[in-house]
Amino acid sequence: TERLENPKFSGGNAEITLQSAYAQDEIPLSERTHLTVGVRQDEHDTFGGETSPRVSIVRDVNDKLTLKASYGHGFRAPTIKQVSPGYSFQTGKILIKSNPDLQPETNDALELGASYSNGKLNLNAAVFDNKVKNLIDTRLNRTLAGGVQEWLYANTDEAHLRGAEISADLPIHEGLKLN
């Protein structure tokens, strides 16, 4: 339960409740391959329920190379500060206001990755593709007297995030590692 006290609210406070349950299981498909499946159920008193599945498969090709693939669906409801009518906060010349019309954001994410380790050198690489609906962000609404910028929380209909991540670490001297 998220509770916010503010003298601008009717009754002086607002409250939002979110309940969630998550279950996950790892299933060995072979000695070197494992499937992980999971599901999360969210119940929000304002936005209702959302089921978010997750599945991943990991294959140890050999003792040095591991391949991974995963899919997951995510749900994020706006916070109480983002949706409570009349709520705002100011920091310097920026005023951020709530938006009672905000909708929850959802995300569908795919990731493919590989890890290599030969005992000294560790390499990791992954590519990802995330499609977000109703991304919660802030937008400049207007400039007020004194140059104060009024920003509002708002949904972006769709956002598409794609990319790659690469990391490595290598011990170069006792007690010293290059990342």
- Structure tokens, 151: 């920003």
Distance between CA atoms of 107 and 111, rounded to whole angstroms?
13
Q: For residue 121, give Cα distances in angstroms to 60, 62, 80, 81.
A: 17, 16, 46, 46
Q: Taking 80 as the threshold, does the pLDDT of residue 10 lie above it?
A: no
Q: pLDDT at position 119, please?
A: 85
Q: How confident is the model at residue 62 (pLDDT cuts 50, 70, 90)?
A: very high
Residue type present at position 3: R
Tens digits of residue pLDDT in 113-128: 999 999 889 999 999 9
Rg (C-alpha) for the chain, rounded Å, is 22
Distance between CA atoms of 76 and 87, rounded to whole angstroms?
20
On whether the CB atoms of residues 50 and 42 are closer than 8 A, the answer is yes
Tens digits of residue pLDDT in 132-149: 999 999 999 999 999 999
Q: pLDDT at position 14, please?
A: 83
Distance between CA atoms of 152 and 144, rounded to whole angstroms?
13
Which contiguous run of DSSP H or E holds residue 127?
Answer: strand 122-143
Phi, psi for 145 (deg, rounded to 5) = -55, 145
